[in-house]
Structure formats: structure tokens, C-alpha cells
Structure 1
């Protein structure tokens, strides 16, 4: 329920000042005829179209002060300290309003839209405090009314925030392994956060940032749920990589340091890819070696060797008889790869010299025996 300071309150307060400060003009209105209205003595160009301020008493006697005085909103000498407050929901808060450099009789007041809060008025300075702030959207305005007519006001810049209850990351419309080369959408869901327009969500792939998003179009001050998305194209390098997101409330220099950050769990995809392999047209292998072919894929491909149309086992110790045309088939989860290559088995360098050295050793042993 919105609380307004009526002319009746102001009249009672002015009556108390009448005996202690200086003579005040008499109040000529009646409480029943009073309604909240814009400040009476603010210039029309400076006053907002619908300021939510308390009604002011009607004065007789001296006319309002000139527009260069404290009654002009553009030259209002009210000071709120701190001018900006960032408060976590449920925490205490306080703000002081004072009038600087003005010594003429005046009154100060706080107009606050808060259930159960009585109107507050005083002189010199006036503190508004709350032990447990449990209102999300709160307009708090300090105003001053001067003896010779005129008034001004200033609004406290107040932000009430709440870190999210949870942050989670998942694929949209997908579960299980992902396929290489396909596009997927990651979503980061942030639950019960306020204010959402201060929320920044960042997507990560391992230690690298994929990008950030912000909900600037939602002015809601109460906690809401919000979902942010990013598109990715899977590759074999993504297999086993951790995706995650974090939600941060960017509350400005008056906010807490460091700013509130909540991180999601990690999403570790299994990427199906392959088979991948190089397929040379001709392969030279030395005698005695094993014929191998490197192929990659997830899950590991099933490799089949064929020679002259017959399935064979890859030779483990090659001889010149193993030379010929081979067809290799690798079947993976996504596709099948076929490779045809000509295998040439060559004599290893140093094979003849080794044979000659062995013959000479045997001959030398025989000569020694004969001698």
C-alpha cells in the first residue's frame, strides 16, 4: 500500500515549528479535500509528469521563492548518502537525507512505498533505515518543503538483488552421444534470480569462453527464471571436453566485490566421429616388418583386410610374396571408409652385408679348427 505524507501531517509539523523556529502562515485547507498531487512550487518544465510525492500545505503570505532558489528542482540542495544502494534481499539498509547550504525554516520527509512504514519527517537530516529489506521494487523519495513556499525532492537509487538458486547446462532436444559435424544448441538455465536485467551468462568450453549473453529487455525486479542459448558444431576434438556456464550479477561499482557468480555443472559430451585415415595409393614396406594402417574413430572402427577379394589377416612378417593390391575397409558408427593401396615389399638395406659377415665368421671358425 503506497504511503503519502498528507497536508495534515505537514500542518501538524509546521504547528510545532511555529513556537520554536519562526512564525508560519496559517493552513487554510481541510484534510478531507486533500489529494496527493505534484509539488506545487516546482516549475512545470522541471517537474516530472507524475511525481509520487506527498501533498504540501497551502501557504498564505510571502510568494514562492524565485526559480533560482532551493525550490527549483534543477537546483535542489538535497543530498542522499549514499546516493546509490545495492542491497541483497533480506539484508539491512539505511540512507540519510540532508539539506545542504540552506538555513531557512524547512521540513524534510521520506516518502517510501513500503507496507507498514509510517510517514517520516524532520529537520536538518533524516535517516531512513530497514532491518530486513523484503520488498523487491521500492521507490524512496526524500523531499523538502520551505517556509516561504517551494519544495524539491530527490530519489534514492536502490537496487535489490538475489543470486540465482541454481544454474544448469544441457542440450536442447538431445541426449546421448553427439555426432561430428552436426550442430547442437546448448542452453544455460538460471533459476530464481533478481534483477534479471543485471544478469550476464557466459558459456565456456574448457578454459575458453564461447560467448556471453544478457537479458536487457526484461525490466522485472522480482526473481525470475531465464534461459540463454548458444549454437555449437561438434568436432572430434570435443570428445571429452567440458562445457559449462556461469551466471553473474553485474551490479556496478556499488555492488558487492567480487560480484555474485554461480557456476553450472560440467557437460562432457561423447562425440561419435570417423573413421578418419590417410589412404596412400602405394606403400613400401621392408621385409620382416608388419603391415599396419592407422585409422581413428569413435567408437573404434572395425577394420577388414582384403586381397584379391578375399579377407586376409594383415601379415606380421612381410616377405616379397606379400606384395600386391590390398583393400582395407573401416566401418564406424557414422560411415564406412574404404582404402585401396598397392603394397611393395622391399629388401631392407644391409641384409646382404649381414649375410656376408655371417659367412665370413663361419669360414674363419672352420679355418681355426683345421689349423
Structure 2
């Protein structure tokens, strides 16, 4: 009886405590232990059993938005959950007499592994130990991760991380040592990563690509094709070859140049395996080309030194680059990176269109020239010549000079006299040269005349034209005389010809009259005819005089 009484009293006390607890104000959240993916959003509901709520909300450093509310609850949407240690707190104010403690919400922010990768498994020699490496990139929380190695569908090794306390995402590397057996040849091996967020979340799994285990033999040495010289920042093809291997298609090549790994292309013909790669270097000097070929545990290497040469990085300067006629200009040639240059002996030249101005066997050097009008636009060149393995090598750079000078004219550009035919089409041409190019203007009787425009020639075009050319350095002037020739005879000439003809006609008339008077007018004796007619004789001798015997 005493024992039963004790049980009843304990039950009553527990019931009273439970009722009192139910009547105590509290704050809760749903979901209680939310699981959310990094960078996504979540709706969180804060609630209370308080009857007289003055205020309530959610304290968080995340972006939030009200999603609704009721008499005893408020809902919020949290955006871009990207804080690994985020712990929002729900709170409510039920008055001064009620002590309402905020409710802290424990978040689990996760990130599914981006990549699960098994490091390349080398060709194994039977009886030797090899380390398998599995890499799981950028996932969280690591305490919920497990990584397993599988071979032929069987689990070799399982690793968990329950004691990992950090919440943020990071990479995980898991290794496992295996001993190679002859029976392993051809079996598939892989690693699997599992992120278990249950019961609140899901189970995520991801596996690496399968790799096949192999065992082989390798009894030969690799051979490198000779490569003695190479210019900096150029590319050359190198070849590494092995013969007599089995199986040749399983030979693994690695080539490095100046301690940098090269990308290879491998071909196999029979028992010959060959790897090719492109090599280049931006640093002059002697660099090591190395080829390593592996089959299982056997590794063989071939090395060769390659001389990388660098010709000067030429720079040509003109000081000044813009100047005037009869001024001195310094032409300088130098190496932009003398500290990086390693080259065989060379000869350097500064030249222009007239020929070589200066030659040296080292840099820098310079030469001075005095400018003329012909130097405007002149190209100066710095050139380096050398020889590598009997092959001529040349590098050069150029720069142009600008020379300013005043306008110039001559009879070729602006003739002093022009002869045009009337009724033909002619264009008045007058030009000048200078730098800057001058402006040319021609005027007749102080009126501008169009230059270069064909026009029908009339007598009005005849006369003198004042032409001038100018730029900001000065001006020159020239007189151009235009003569217009006409095919029609001049009026004065016609009048003179008519007067001359009239004078000639008058003179001829007077002469004829005088001649007639002196020779045709006077007495004539006609022979007498027998039995002549007196009247006829009278008519022949005239009516005034009659012959007398």
C-alpha cells in the first residue's frame, strides 16, 4: 500500500507540473531544426501561447520578408541563406509581467558535393602498395559526410567525419592504401560520397568515375628527339618514344619543360608508343626538357637541355618626333627589357630610306640627323641581325618622323602661264605643298576663283590671277596669267582687210583708167577698103573725126 501511494503522489505531482508548464508562456518555431541548401530561401514560422501579444518577430542577419501572421504566430521568408552559422531567434512581448525568452532556431545549411573524383590510379606492380585518393569538393556539413572506396562492387574502405565541427563548406581528401594483386587486373575501382541529412533532410549521394586496375611490364628506356635551340615565346614540337613495351597502349607519358607539365598527344603502333607536345617559354636561358614514361612501378626518364634565346625587344624613339626643317633629331634604338635578353652575338643598324645611318654590335645607341622637307613622313628603322644554327634571324621596329614647314609652290604645282582655247573646258589648277598641308586660294580682280573645277572657257577667263598658299607656318603667293585663244578672226583685222582690199581695188581702177586713156583714146587710121560703105567707115572711126587723105 505504501508503494502504491508513492506512485499515485508522484503521478499527481507530474500532472500538476505538466499543467503548470502548459500554462507557462513559451516561444517556438517551425520547422524546429530546419535544413536548407546554401543560397536558397526558407519560410520560418514563429509562434507563442501568449494571449496578449504586444510585439513579436524574428531576429536574423539574413534578408527576410513577412509571409503572414495570426493571433499567436508570425511567418517569415528568409532569402539567400548564405551564412553557415546562421541562428535566427523568434521573440514575442507579452507584457512586463511575463518573461518571454527568445527561441533560437538551429539551422543546418548544406551544400551537395560539386565533384567527387578519384585520382588517376597508376598501373600497378603486383605485390606493391598504392595509395588511392578520393577528392570531394566544396560540400557541407562535413560531419554528415561519409566516403567509401569500392572495388568490383565491394567496399574496400569507409571513412566518416562525425567529429568535424566546422559548419562551412570545404574540400575533403580521403586516401586508402591498397595492395595490387594479379586478380585485380581489369576490375573497376571508384569512390562514393554520401551526405546524410536525415531525419530532417535528405540523403545525397555522388560517385566518381570508375577506373580500371591494370598490371604491366616496362623494360625499355624512352628516347627524346633532339631540340637544341628555341626562341623565347615561340612553340616547338617535342617527341618522346618508347619501343618494345607490352602492352604499348598502356604506357603513361609525362613530359615537363622548365618544370612545367606539358599537354600530350599519344599514339601507339605495335609495340611503339610515342608522345608529342608543344613547348614554349617566355624566359630565356637553358631549360630542361624531361620525359617520364611509366608502366606500373617502373618509371624511366629521358632529359635534354634546351637553349631558349631572346633577341632584344627593340624600341626606336625619335626625339623630337615632330619638328621643323633644319632642326636636329636624335634617333635612338634600345632594348625594352635588357635584363631578360639572352641572345647570340648580333649586329644592330639604324636606317632610313637613304640607307644605313649607324651600325653597332650592342644596344643602346643613337644617331643625330638634321631635318629637311623630304624627311616629313620619313620612316626610321632599328634592325637586329643574328644567326642561330646557320639560320639567319632578323628583328626590327620602325617609327615615322613629322617635319613641319611652310607652303611651297613651283611651276609644276602652279604654272605661271596658262593658254586655253575658247569654247573648250578647262580647270584652273594650282596647288602647293607643306606640312600642315596648306590652303590654296586664287583670285581674279579680288574675286575668289574655283580651283580644279572644269568650266567652259570664254574671253572673260583671260587675265591675271593672284594665287596664295598658307598654313600656320607662313604663306607664299604666285601670279598666274591665263591667255584665251579664239578661232574667229578679230573685228579690227576684218576691217583692215576690207580697207586694204578697197584700197587695192581703187588703185587698180585708177591705173586701168590711166592706161586706157594713154593707149586706147586718140586717132586711129583704118585701111581703106574698096567699095567701102561710107556709113560703116564713119561708125568705125567715130562720129567726131574723119580720116583725111
The TM-score, its normalising length taken from structure 1, stands at 0.48
- Whichever structure has more strand as a proportion of its residues is 2
Higher relative contact order, structure no. (Cα contacts within 8 Å, ≥ 6 residues apart): 1
